[in-house]
Amino acid sequence: MDFKGKDIISITDFSKSDINVIIKYAQKMVPYAKGKEYTRILDGKVLSSLFFEPSTRTRLSFESAMNRLCGRVIGFADPTATSQKKGETLADTIRMADAYSDIIVLRHHLEGAARLAAEFAEAPVINAGDGTGRHPTQCLLDLFTIQTEKKHIEGQKVVLLGDLKYGRTVHSLAYALSLYGAELAFVSPKSLQMPKEVVNECKEQGVNPFSTSKLEKVIHDADVLYVTRIQRERFPDAEEYSRVVGSYQINKAMLSNVKEDLIIMHPLPRVTEISPEIDATPHALYFKQAFNGVPVRMALLSLVTGVML
């Protein structure tokens, strides 16, 4: 694929070989992401960072990535301080960002918002999370993390745990892992099971995920445990949320018979689903995973502008 000018909307738009190109290029970006090497490749380029929903990692790592490449960032993290407050449409906001910048990064509460934005912008649009839809750059950094830690993704036994219904990160990741022939287990309360269309996407790739509500059935054999938060803000019904909140919490006792090299990942933020006592164990990968957002997003910014290291 020629990435120059390409929108990054859903991981399903990319082949395995496209993803491998991004992962390989991101590995080259690591010393630059850590500030150990220096480059000015995006000098003169401007990124619009448009966040209609709260974010810590995605917004700051995109901004760090652009700054590490010597580009500039404009944008907002509080949409109530923009002309949306006066009734401006998303389409018109995107038209303005398109006029003022070379790349648009958009997080929005509505599924499909990024694809819509791409129709109104000449500049490449990168989906930084659209409602309960997709989060392709999170998916890429998750794959990068597994590749870096395990040396390959193929055949890894990956357990996705938690809110699989509303969790956009696991929707993207389940599909992408199935491209690599990973073995998938989905663990969630019954009411938060993985949507059928995502399960079908996995099956189309020849992967038949095992679904259960009992983590103890699969944790002992897992290479990767990917934990997600039960997202209060996604539930249309507060009662539905109160029935599942606190359904699971990973603590040291639960890790007594896991593989020595099990890695625990989480897109973050976490609330109570991983006990802080796990942080100091060799299994905890989630903070390193969050750092990996910088080299991966640097690689994407470079690829979509067509200005390479």
Query: Could you tell me the smallest distance in angstroms from the CB atom of residue 141 to ligand CP?
Result: 9
Question: Which x/- pattern, by CB under 6 A, does the window 41-80 give for ligand CP?
Answer: --------------xxxx----------------------
In the complex, least distance from residue 284 CB atom to ligand CP, rounded to whole angstroms: 16
Q: Which is nearer to ligand CP, 61 or 147 (CB)?
A: 61
Of 11-19, 109-117, 173-181, 262-270: span binding ligand CP (CB under 6 A) = 262-270
User: Smallest gap, in angstroms, from Cβ of residue 204 to ligand CP?
Assistant: 26
Report the residue number, 117 or 207, with the smaller CB distance to ligand CP. 117
Would residue 234 show up in a list of annotated catalytic residues for this protein? no
Instruction: Identify whether 57 is a catalytic site residue.
Output: yes
- Min dist CB 55 to ligand CP, Å, is 3
Our answer to whether residue 72 is catalytic in this structure is no
**Range in contact with ligand CP (rule: CB under 6 A) among 7-15, 218-226, 245-253, 263-271:** 263-271
Residue of the chain from 66, 126, 158, 268 that contacts ligand CP (CB under 6 A): 268
Question: For the residues of 137-195, what is the DSSP string, one character each?
Answer: HHHHHHHHHHHHHHS--TT-EEEEES-TTT-HHHHHHHHHHHHTT-EEEEE--GGGPPP
Minimum distance from residue 145 beta carbon to ligand CP (Å): 12
Non-local (6+) Cβ contacts of 236 within 8 A are none
119 to 11, 74, 87, 114, 116: CA distances (angstroms): 18, 21, 20, 9, 5
The nearer residue to ligand CP, 207 or 294, going by C-beta atoms, is: 294
Give yes or no for a cis peptide into 269 (omega within 30° of 0). yes
| Ranges within 111-130 binding ligand CP (CB under 6 A) | 129
Please pick, from the candidates 138, 145, 289, 305, the single residue that binds ligand CP as defined by CB under 6 A. Answer: 138
- List 57, 95, 115, 157, catalytic entry: 57
267 binds ligand CP (CB under 6 A): yes
Give 269 or 282: the residue with its C-beta nearer to ligand CP: 269
Our answer to whether residue 232 is catalytic in this structure is no
Active-site residue, 95 included? no
Least distance between ligand CP and beta carbon 57 (Å): 4
* Number of residues forming the site for ligand CP (CB under 6 A): 9
Distance (Å, rounded) from C-alpha 46 to C-alpha 27? Answer: 24
Catalytic residue among 6, 59, 135, 165: 135
**Which residues are known catalytic residues?**
57-58, 86, 107, 135
Where does this chain bind ligand CP (CB under 6 A)?
Answer: 55-58, 129, 138, 267-269
